């Protein structure tokens, strides 16, 4: 497993592949790279769509013999259908996929792989990792663990908390694993832990349920910043004052701004940049411009975003 910084992954790969354009050292036969990603159902995936479309424009402009096809899907079922349509209509030299869900997409991606397609998986791993040639993601275990360590220290290793999960995927499992493994070593009690599908409105409703059910909540962890916004709104409307911290993750610019402003309830976050999709597309394309195929697992690190370093993670012009 290679761990690299959030900046290195994108900048080095982009620079290296675009440098090949100047030398003319790229394959002359047409190469097709399909990019299958979730539609912009929440802020983070909106950022994914934006960066994928940027990569499509840049690569096709630099390399006329590479065709990048970006397909977005609003559900796992739609993504399966999109893969079937892409495979049936043309030969895919490479597939870059951010699976909507892990289990449902594993079989369909395996079928694409059987046709000789180079498979790059981003963020949400497949249930069978042997299918992928390349995997690019953030360190989700560290996202959960680093948040839990900070929270446990601030709570003095005791208290009552509630947790919001995302959707059933490998990365959600890893975030929860990292968080709960740390909490197990403390006297902190997790009162409840349920899915809110990385959705602000669903998180708002779930947090309302938590507030109605539990008279004492010391802190909340929503493992995604979209859900965090729903949590904060529910807490605000409830008028409850005992909740010391409400934390998320992913580095949404609105949340990073809270950290910069030293918001007492949300004083830290963790980065999980949607631009990783752009880096993954560049890495998949590299093999078609004279470079050896990149294989293996690449992880971005997950340092805490604090008031002291938040400016390094704040991009006000970003869609996320």
The 10s digit of each residue's pLDDT in 133-174 is 999 988 999 999 999 999 999 999 999 999 999 988 888 999
Q: How confident is the model at residue 7 (pLDDT cuts 50, 70, 90)?
A: very low
Please state whether the predicted TM-score (pTM) of the whole model is above 0.85.
Answer: no
Give me the mean pLDDT over the 227-246 stretch. Answer: 97
* 13 pLDDT higher than 70: no
The residues spanned by each domain of the chain are: 2-139+273-313, 140-260
The 10s digit of each residue's pLDDT in 185-235 is 999 999 999 999 999 999 999 999 999 999 999 999 999 999 999 999 999
Are domains 2-139+273-313 and 140-260 of this chain identical in fold?
yes
Look over the chain and give the mean of its residue pLDDT values, rounded to a whole number.
Answer: 90
The 10s digit of each residue's pLDDT in 40-77 is 877 788 889 988 999 999 999 999 999 999 999 999 99
CATH entry, 2-139+273-313, from 3.40.50.2300, 3.40.50.300, 3.30.450.190, 3.30.70.260: 3.40.50.2300
Residues 171, 141: contact at Cβ < 8 Å? Answer: no
* 132 pLDDT higher than 60: yes
The least confident of 190-194, 226-230, 281-285, 299-303 is 299-303
Q: Which CATH superfamily is domain 140-260 in?
A: Response regulator (3.40.50.2300)
Residues 135, 129: contact at Cβ < 8 Å? Answer: yes
Q: What is the pLDDT of residue 17?
A: 60
Give me the mean pLDDT over the 32-40 stretch. Answer: 96
Q: What is the pLDDT of residue 15?
A: 56
Structure tokens belonging to residue 112: 């694409």
Q: What is the pLDDT of residue 18?
A: 59
């Amino acid at each position: 497993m290679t761990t690299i910084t959030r900046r290195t992954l994108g900048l080095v790969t982009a620079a290296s592949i675009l440098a090949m354009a100047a030398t003319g050292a790229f394959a002359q036969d047409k190469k097709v790279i399909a990019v299958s990603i979730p539609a912009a159902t929440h802020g983070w995936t909106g950022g994914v769509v934006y960066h994928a479309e940027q990569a499509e424009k840049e690569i096709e402009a630099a390399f006329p013999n590479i065709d990048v096809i970006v397909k977005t899907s609003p559900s796992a079922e739609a993504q399966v259908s999109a893969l079937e349509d892409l495979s049936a209509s043309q030969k895919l030299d490479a597939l870059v996929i951010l699976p909507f869900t892990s289990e449902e997409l594993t079989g369909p991606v395996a079928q694409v792989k059987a046709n000789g397609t180079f498979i790059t998986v981003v963020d949400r791993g497949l249930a069978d990792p042997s299918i992928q040639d390349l995997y690019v993601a953030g360190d989700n275990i560290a996202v959960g663990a680093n948040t839990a360590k900070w929270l446990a220290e601030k709570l003095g290793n005791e208290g009552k908390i509630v947790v919001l999960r995302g959707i059933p995927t490998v990365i959600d499992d890893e975030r929860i694993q990292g968080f709960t493994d740390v909490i197990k070593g403390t006297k902190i009690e997790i009162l409840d832990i349920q899915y809110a599908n990385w959705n602000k409105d669903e998180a708002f409703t779930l947090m309302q349920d938590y507030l109605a059910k539990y008279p004492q909540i010391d802190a909340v962890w929503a493992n995604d910043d979209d859900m965090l916004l729903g949590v904060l709104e529910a807490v605000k409307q409830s008028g409850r004052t005992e909740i010391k911290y409400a934390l998320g993750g992913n580095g949404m610019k609105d949340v990073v701004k809270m950290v910069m402003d030293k918001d007492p309830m949300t004083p830290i976050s963790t980065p999980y940049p949607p631009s990783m999709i752009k880096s993954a597309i560049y890495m998949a394309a590299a093999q078609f411009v004279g470079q050896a195929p990149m294989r293996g697992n690449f992880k971005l690190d997950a340092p805490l975003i604090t008031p002291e370093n938040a400016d390094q993670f704040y991009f006000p012009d970003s869609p996320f």
